[in-house]
Amino acid sequence: MRTAVITIAAGRHPHLLVQQDGLARSSRAPDHYVVVSMADPAIQDVVADRNPAADVISLPLEGGRLPLAAARNAGAARALAAGADLLVFLDVDCVPGSSLLDGYARAAQDGALLCGTVAYLPPPPAHGYPLDDLAGMAPPHPARPAPATGHVVRGGDPRLFWSLSFALTASTWNRIGGFCEDYTGYGAEDTDYASCAARLGVDLWWVGGAPAYHQHHPTQHPPVQHVDDIIRNGALYRARWGTWPMEGWLHDFEERGLVRYVPATDTWCRR
């Protein structure tokens, strides 16, 4: 099974390098490593002359916003054109565990959307993360299933799908049809993708033995820097599916006086 790893990136160069180092330690080497640069020409030099070799694609911003959906689609298209049988998507912040690719390959079946565990790492020690001992630094995220190695939990809730780490066969990718590129900027494109998969009868499987480790970086809770993207993309999701995603964040924004809900039209808008 020819396996491609696809990562989309804008900035976060140190995180990308650690991911590349993690892939170099993988018990199963990727056959193709596609990095999609979103308006970041420096990425080509960042990953050059390192193992595994990176095939870099460049995309511009879309209306000044990161084209997350389009970037994943572009990465998948490049991998499929090169003969990939299995597509593995990793967030730029995620370091693959040594068994991640093998775990996904063992579980892969047409008609399944595979999600491995993700652990959120603390800040790195002075000399960087010990890539051979990441499992000892943080447990898997408690809000998602974490099956043991070799086990698969089928029938997962598509609302829990995350794009940090997931995989699917080429046939399943083609069946779902890729991410909706109407979404730009932060939020909801992955929720939309999982909804598309569920509507088409693609089952969500939680895969044991395919761990990824999310590198620490400063963040805001809720992500107030993305409030406009979340309102815009949330409205697009509602138009497509009839419900609002990311409601927890929207209510948090409301408590901070950033947005308001209009019941008569079932809309959220800036204050």
- pLDDT digit string (tens) for 15-58? 999 999 999 999 999 999 999 999 999 999 999 999 999 999 99
pLDDT in the model for residue 19: 98
Closest CA to 268 of 164, 116, 254, 256: 254
Q: Can you tell me which residue has the tokens 């820097």?
A: 225
What mean pLDDT is reported for the chain?
A: 96
Whole-number Cα distances in Å, 103 to 61, 95, 162, 197: 34, 15, 17, 21
Closest CA to 172 of 222, 108, 120, 255: 108
Q: What is the mean pLDDT of residues 178-182?
A: 97
Strands 267-270 and 203-214: unpaired
Closest CA to 150 of 118, 112, 203, 103: 103
pLDDT in the model for residue 220: 80
> 0.75 exceeded by the pTM?
yes
Q: What angle do CA 253, 141, 98 make, to 5 degrees?
A: 135
Please check the confidence at residue 214 and state whether its pLDDT lies above 90.
yes
Q: What whole-number distance in Å separates Cα of residue 222 and Cα of residue 169?
A: 34
Local confidence band at 227 (pLDDT 50, 70, 90 cut-offs): very high
pLDDT in the model for residue 181: 97
Please check the confidence at residue 79 and state whether its pLDDT lies above 90.
yes
Q: Can you tell me which residue has the tokens 């970041």?
A: 40
pLDDT in the model for residue 219: 80
Q: What angle do CA 54, 120, 209 make, to 5 degrees?
A: 70
Q: What is the mean pLDDT of residues 173-193?
A: 97
- What secondary structure letter does DSSP report for 61? -
> What φ, ψ does residue 17 adopt, rounded to 5°?
-65, -40
Measured in whole angstroms, how far is the alpha carbon of residue 174 from the centre of its chain?
A: 18
Q: How far apart are the first and last CA of the chain?
A: 52
List pLDDT tens digits, range 230-243.
999 999 999 999 99
Q: What is the mean pLDDT of residues 2-7?
A: 98
Q: What is the mean pLDDT of residues 170-195?
A: 97
Q: Which of 130-139, 179-188, 213-222 comes out lowest in average pLDDT?
A: 213-222
Contact 40, 11 (CB under 8 A): yes
pLDDT in the model for residue 176: 98
